[in-house]
Amino acid sequence: MIYKSLSNPKLTASFKEAATTGIAPDRGLYFPDHLPVLGKSFWSSYATMEKKELGFEVMKHFVGNDIDKDTLAEIAFSAIDFDLPVVRLDDHIGVLELFHGPTLAFKDVGARFMARCLGYFSAQYGEKTTVLVATSGDTGGAVADGFLGVSGVEVVILYPSGKVSPLQEKQLTALGQNIKAIEVLGSFDDCQEMVKTAFVDQQVRSTRKLTSANSINVARWLPQMLYYFVALQQKKSTDHPWVISVPSGNFGNLCAGFVAQKLGLDVAHFIAATNSNKTVPDFLHTGIWTDRTSVATRSNAMDVAHPSNWIRIEALHNNDLNTLRNHVSSFSFTDDQTMDAMQRIYNQYRYIADPHGAIGYLGLERYLQKNPNYFGVFLETAHPIKFTEVVTEALGFSPELPEGLQRLMHSEKKSTVIKNYDELKEVLMQKH
């Protein structure tokens, strides 16, 4: 598979090159030069395919010969070797739970896949790599856990000070070893811009081999397809066509779902549900893209005003607005609506949703009001315990903290506080 920069198609890379560099030299995102065809043999056995085979059969087309088959099969399986259940709330609505991995968030899938790929490349080629990543919450924890102790890889995680939950912060700052946490006095967009700037800073690049573990990296983004494939294996013959509502911030999750759909997965429609950071819903409604500054909400992992992956979603739909509108509906919701939804979901179904899942539910609810002849699935992207303060405020109680996380909460926080890119550059220029 060849990957091309969406800013300049003449800039191309193999999977290994795209994974180990993160973004193209022109700061463009890498994108497959074609989408493969999953043959009849795949689809004839798909419904009963084991996870290990499923992961390999999907990902082999995107990795090519850069990783040998046996290793790739192990890497793909390790990314999804935990439960990914669709829990049915009633006959019309289900929730895909993506929080059964080690850090209780959907990003465990992509982070574990990418970590093992980079570990393999480091062992094969002896190249020491620095993973530089910005997080609005869950990415950092998943990346820290996935890369912890991986030989030849150092991880530097930027997060906005005071804008992640206490548990999320401990997952970033308490591990040590090859994980370094950078606390930025700013927003997630500030963190993301610093990361992008570092990638084109030749002084930094001459000191470190940089890659990113955000969903801008193909090795983090593409494996997210796998849980859509696992989810659709759970579709019942009596179900109406499925629509899937995706709580969306940087839009890598939704983008991966679109790739799965393009490969032939039977999803009738997608819903992009956002919080008050509504750049995409407004664009789809008006056709006008308006740059904004991110605002802080109770669903902090989605506080993104400039979603990096939107350009990939446009590319998947031939950069045609009408085609996009036919394949995705998008709605935004306020904090008050989110809190109300968490209460209603619990009162009606005795199901505890985190604030991001609640926004996914609201998007699904809005869509089904006018399109009732579907079975709707919303994504619960993180365990509600990761947002215990919001859940407690909404429901009056908090889920029990798992034992492993109880120990983590009592661990020492270690972070470096910075205000601007120059201070980040100073950190990166230090010997490592």
Q: Highest-confidence range of 127-141, 273-287, 384-398, by mean pLDDT?
A: 273-287
Q: Average pLDDT for residues 395-411, to the nearest whole number?
A: 78
pLDDT at 411 over 90: no
- pLDDT band at 186; cut points 50, 70, 90: very high
CA distance 161 to 169: 9
Contacts 24+ apart (CB under 8 A), 33-38: 33/1, 33/2, 33/3, 33/4, 35/259, 35/262, 35/263, 36/1, 36/61, 36/62, 36/263, 37/263, 38/263, 38/264
Where does 260-364 show beta strands of DSSP type E? 269-274, 328-332
Q: What is the pLDDT of residue 432?
A: 58
| Contacts with 68 (C-beta within 8 Å, 6 or more apart), sequence order | none
CA distance 409 to 412: 8
Q: What is the pLDDT of residue 161?
A: 93
Tally of residues, the chain: 432
- The residue ranking higher by pLDDT, 222 or 411, is 222
Question: Residue 96 burial (CB < 10 Å; 0-12/13-18/19+)?
Answer: buried
The tens digit of pLDDT for each residue in 194-244 reads: 998 998 899 998 888 888 887 889 999 999 999 999 999 999 999 999 999
- pLDDT band at 426; cut points 50, 70, 90: very high
CA 278 and chain centroid, separation = 18
Q: Average pLDDT for residues 83-109, to the nearest whole number?
A: 94
Neighbours of 162 (CB within 10 A): 10
The tens digit of pLDDT for each residue in 279-297 reads: 999 999 999 999 888 898 9
CA distance 53 to 51: 5
Q: What is the pLDDT of residue 372?
A: 95
Whether the pTM exceeds 0.75: the reply is yes
The tens digit of pLDDT for each residue in 168-180 reads: 888 888 888 899 9
Q: Average pLDDT for residues 71-96, to the nearest whole number?
A: 96
CA distance 409 to 166: 8
- Which sequence spans correspond to the domains of the chain? 84-116+127-432
Considering the chain, what percentage of its residues have pLDDT values greater than 70?
99
CA distance 343 to 337: 10
β-bridge mates for residue 375, sequence order = 242
- Which amino acid makes up residue 137? G
CA distance 169 to 409: 9
- pLDDT band at 73; cut points 50, 70, 90: very high
What is the dotted CATH code of the domain comprising 84-116+127-432?
A: 3.40.50.1100
Token digits of residue 70: 């046996």
CA distance 188 to 194: 10
CA distance 256 to 408: 31
- Please say whether the beta carbons of 111 and 148 come within 8 A: no
Token digits of residue 268: 């009738």
Neighbours of 18 (CB within 10 A): 28
Q: What is the pLDDT of residue 256?
A: 97
pLDDT at 404 over 70: no
- The residue ranking higher by pLDDT, 403 or 345, is 345
Q: Average pLDDT for residues 393-408, to the nearest whole number?
A: 81
Token digits of residue 93: 């609505």
pLDDT at 37 over 80: yes
CA distance 333 to 328: 17
The tens digit of pLDDT for each residue in 349-387 reads: 999 999 999 999 999 999 999 999 999 999 999 999 888
Q: What is the pLDDT of residue 287?
A: 95
